[in-house]
Amino acid sequence: MNVTMQDSISIAANATNTNVITGQRYDRCPFDAIGNLFCTGSALGLTAELNIGGSSITPPTKVNAQNRLPVVPDDILTQEWEAPEGKLVQVSVVNTTAGALTFFWRIDLSEAGFEQ
């Protein structure tokens, strides 16, 4: 089974949004999954960081400035990360500029079995 979440959010100047996924249906992974994160910003100056269940997948990473919803696969930030069932998917976004910016994101989760 595959599930997808996609949205955009305004990030105020010099502000941090600790989790842009909050309130989404699959902010906790519904099954053991392999995930892909795609994102873009409305202009340069955003950084994004992915954590799964408190474990860091990426450090704060610069986001491209395509100013549109992500195109698959062009706007991939990190791919094929493991997301165990019930773990929190957390994407923290920081706006390093003096103006508000929009962060566009998409997460695909594909059901997978993990070897123990």
Partner 1 sequence: MAKVKCFRCSRTGVMFPDDYVEEWGRKYGIGLGPVPISEALTNTYHGEVAEAKDANKTMHPLGVCRAQVDLIEVEEEEFEANKAIIDLEDPDFNKRAAIMRDKQLQKSTKLAGMFPAEVSLAKTRIAERSKVKA
Out of 16, 51, 61, 96, the residue judged to bind partner 1 by CB under 8 A = 96
Shortest Cβ 43–partner 1 spacing (Å): 5
Shortest Cβ 92–partner 1 spacing (Å): 16
Given a contact cutoff of 8 angstroms between Cβ atoms, the answer to whether 41 and 64 are in contact is yes
The secondary structure of 67-104 as a DSSP string is -SSPPTTTTEEEEEEEE-TTPBEEEEEEE-SSS-EEEE
Binding mask 51-90 for partner 1 (x = CB under 8 A): -----------x-xxxx-----------------------
The two tokens of residue 110 are: 């594909």
